[in-house]
């Protein structure tokens, strides 16, 4: 158990819908990262938040958005869902970006498996 929690574990929805994925980082971790893992694209970095602020952006679609709340949990919002959005979405957390770089390790949650029908 990494200490990172994600809900829900599975999500089935229809095209055009909107869903919210939730992540709670490990205790003490200030950074949260979101990744998408699909069969054809592999593991893709989406976005990172540090202590409530967006810090880095990867291959995140405009239909997707995220935020990190004062209690450090994070939510990833996916809207106007398409079949191709079906994937495993991971949240990862780490302590502080600057301290211990580049040794700082990300710890992954169990993932949310999204199926868009």
CB of 113 to another protein, least distance (A): 7
Torsion of CA 114, 52, 56, 99, to 10 degrees: -120
Residue 64 or 90: which CB sits closer to another protein?
90
The footprint of another protein on residues 14-43 (CB under 8 A) is 33, 42-43
By CB under 8 A, is residue 2 in contact with another protein? yes
Angstrom distances, CA of residue 67 to CA of 14, 20, 110: 23, 11, 19
Which range in 13-21, 22-30, 52-60, 69-77 contacts another protein by CB under 8 A?
A: 52-60
The footprint of another protein on residues 94-113 (CB under 8 A) is 97, 101-111, 113
Which residues on neighbouring strands pair with residue 31, listed in sequence order?
50, 94
Q: 76 near 57, Cβ under 8 Å? A: no
> Within 13 A of 6's CA, how many CA atoms are on the CB side?
26
By CB under 8 A, is residue 56 in contact with another protein? yes
Q: Which of 11, 78, 92, 114 binds another protein (CB under 8 A)?
A: 92
């Amino acid at each position: 158990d990494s200490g990172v929690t994600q809900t829900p574990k599975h999500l089935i929805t229809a095209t055009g819908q909107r869903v919210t994925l939730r992540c709670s980082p490990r205790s003490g971790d200030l950074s949260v990262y979101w990744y998408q893992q699909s069969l054809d694209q592999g593991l893709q970095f989406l976005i990172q938040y540090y202590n409530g602020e967006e810090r880095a952006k990867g291959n995140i679609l405009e239909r997707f958005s995220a935020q990190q709340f004062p209690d450090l949990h994070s939510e990833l919002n996916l809207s106007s869902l398409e079949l191709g959005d079906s994937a495993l979405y991971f949240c990862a957390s780490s302590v502080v970006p600057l301290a211990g770089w580049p040794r700082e390790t990300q710890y992954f949650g169990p993932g949310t498996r999204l199926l868009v029908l």
